[in-house]
């Protein structure tokens, strides 16, 4: 037993010299493009404060990228006459910030052409946008390579939907190597940003197909949403803060709303239907904000490693919207 594992170690170490795959590491571009991370941070710091509402969609974009075929910038690719890209799938509805990523990429290409992947740029921009708006820091090890495939069908197969219940959420996250703790923590990203009424209005107007309301939603809150926000069942334009009162601030507000049965999506509400995740949420709410920040950081780093392509896999795209020709 012992011998096999040592043999295995030796073989693996030898292989890794030739192997296409390698691990991500902090400061991957320290030698190949030493200014890359600073250029990204400076650009974000200069521009996001003027458009603070962009921090949320950029964070969400990184999540969508990672859950569909790994963090490989496939979310950034445009559709072509032959291919419907991830962008064109239904949940893209409200993704924003593609042009922001493109502008950062242009600056980076001017500094070191063909070196820094779009996947790493997206991961760093998401992190830096959250920092400059007062949110937590997390480590972003780099070395991701960009994928060659982007397919809208994969989005629906891989991305959790707001109608998911606890057990399918758990399965969905487990399939990406993420635990229930990660599920609770990463859902905490809903402390910033907004949702369209259409993402949850069935809970207000037609939960089981009988014109009814979701009984797990606080009825006072539901009444308010119907009166002031989502006034008709088919509203696809109005937006609602997911953490009302502090939707620009990365805080514990989202979890406090969950405990009052005011989570906006069934997938948010689901987190208090399980004893273990509910207990964990209560713990987060009762601890200083720094505890959430520290734990969130660990889960984000983990999410950023989902099915990454490294070494000689994939490519370094020149333009984030298209594969290199
Ligand atoms: C647990 C499964 C999740 C589901 C079902 C889910 C679903 C959604 C939906 C439906 C929206 C609103 C889209 C709209 O109508 O405009 C949204 C927004 C958002 N999601 Fe999630 N999400 C999940 C997890 C995550 C994770 C892991 C992150 C990031 C780490 C994240 C970050 C965000 C952010 C920041 C927004 C606001 C975007 C904006 O303001 O434009 N979500 N999510
Ligand atoms: C990708 O699509 C966007 C939006 O439709 C467009 O502005 C951009 O020019 C396209 N990029 C490329 C390289 O085709
Ligand atoms: C999002 O998908 C819809 C179709 O579901 C499409 O009409 C729209 O152009 C897409 N948006 C982007 C930014 O690609
Ligand atoms: C959760 O949703 C799945 C898929 O829709 C369904 O099969 C399952 O019965 C649901 N679980 C519970 C506990 O409602
Ligand atoms: C509610 O859903 C059912 C079944 O999907 C549908 O037949 C009905 O028209 C819907 N009612 C409203 C008010 O949208
Ligand atoms: C929603 O439906 C109502 C009637 O069913 C219609 O009058 C209204 O124009 C629709 N609104 C939108 C935004 O589609």
Any idea which fold 166-301 has? Peroxidase; domain 2 (1.10.420)
Q: What is the pLDDT of residue 16?
A: 44
| pLDDT band per the 50, 70, 90 thresholds, residue 89 | confident
Buried b (16+ CB within 10 A) or exposed e, 94-129: ebebbebbeebbeebbeeeeeebbbbbbbbbbbbbb
* pLDDT attached to residue 94: 79
Return the higher-pLDDT residue of 3 and 240. Answer: 240
Domain 19-158: give its CATH architecture: Orthogonal Bundle (1.10)
Q: Is residue 179 lining ligand 4, measured as CB closer than 6 Å?
A: no
Cβ of 239 below 6 Å from ligand 4 = no
Q: What angle do CA 258, 259, 263 make, to 5 degrees?
A: 20
| Residue pLDDT, tens place only, 20-52 | 457 999 999 999 999 999 999 999 999 999 999
Q: How many CA atoms lie within 13 A of 32 on its CB side?
A: 12
Which regions of the chain carry the CATH code 1.10.520.10?
19-158
Q: How confident is the model at residue 93 (pLDDT cuts 50, 70, 90)?
A: low
Q: What is the mean pLDDT of residues 189-217?
A: 97
Residue 325 has a pLDDT of: 87
Collapse the DSSP code of 85 into the 3-class scheme (helix H, G, I; strand E, B; otherwise coil) and give the result. coil
Question: Can 257 be counted among the known catalytic residues?
Answer: no
| Selected catalytic residue, list 47, 50, 62, 64 | 64
pLDDT in tens, 137-153: 999 999 999 999 999 99
251 is in an annotated binding site: yes
The tens digit of pLDDT for each residue in 230-244 reads 999 999 999 999 999
State the pLDDT at residue 19: 43
- Minimum CA distance residue for ligand 4 atom 1: 165
Q: Give yes or no for residue 322 CB within 6 A of ligand 2.
A: yes
Structure tokens at 105: 């990429």
55 pocket-lining for ligand 1 (C-beta < 6 Å): no
Whether 209 has a binding-site annotation, put simply, is: no
- Please state whether the predicted TM-score (pTM) of the whole model is above 0.85: yes
| Ligand 3 pocket, mutate which of 88, 95, 96, 101 (most atoms under 8 A from CB) | 88
Mean pLDDT over each residue of the chain, to the nearest integer: 93
Q: What percentage of the chain reaches a pLDDT higher than 70?
A: 92
């Amino acid at each position: 037993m012992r011998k096999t594992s040592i043999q295995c170690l030796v073989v693996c170490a030898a292989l890794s010299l030739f192997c296409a795959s390698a691990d991500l590491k902090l400061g991957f571009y320290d030698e190949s493009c030493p200014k890359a991370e600073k250029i990204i941070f400076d650009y974000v710091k200069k521009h996001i404060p003027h458009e603070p509402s962009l921090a949320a969609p950029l964070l969400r974009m990184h999540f969508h990228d990672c859950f569909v075929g790994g963090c490989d910038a496939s979310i950034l690719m445009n559709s072509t006459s032959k291919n419907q890209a991830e962008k064109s799938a239904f949940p893209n509805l409200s993704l924003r910030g593609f042009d922001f990523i493109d502008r950062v990429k242009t600056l980076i290409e001017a500094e070191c052409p063909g070196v820094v992947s779009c996947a790493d740029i997206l991961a760093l921009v998401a992190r830096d946008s959250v920092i400059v708006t007062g949110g937590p820091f997390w480590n972003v090890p780099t070395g991701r390579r960009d994928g060659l495939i982007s397919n809208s069908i994969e989005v629906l197969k891989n991305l959790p939907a707001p109608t998911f219940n606890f057990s399918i959420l758990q399965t969905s996250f487990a399939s990406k190597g993420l635990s229930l703790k990660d599920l609770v923590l990463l859902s905490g990203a809903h402390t910033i940003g907004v949702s369209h009424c259409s993402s949850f209005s069935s809970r207000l107007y037609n939960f089981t197909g009988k014109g009814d309301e979701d009984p797990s939603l606080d009825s006072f809150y539901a009444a308010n949403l119907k009166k002031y926000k989502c006034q008709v069942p088919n509203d696809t334009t109005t937006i609602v803060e997911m953490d009302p009162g502090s939707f620009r601030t990365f805080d514990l507000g989202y979890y406090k709303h969950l405990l009052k049965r005011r989570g906006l999506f069934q997938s948010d509400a689901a987190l208090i239907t399980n004893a273990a995740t509910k207990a964990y949420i209560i713990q987060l709410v009762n601890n200083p904000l720094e505890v959430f920040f520290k734990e969130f950081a660990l889960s984000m780093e983990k999410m950023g490693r989902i099915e990454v392509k490294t070494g000689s896999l994939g490519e370094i795209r020149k333009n984030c919207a298209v594969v290199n020709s």
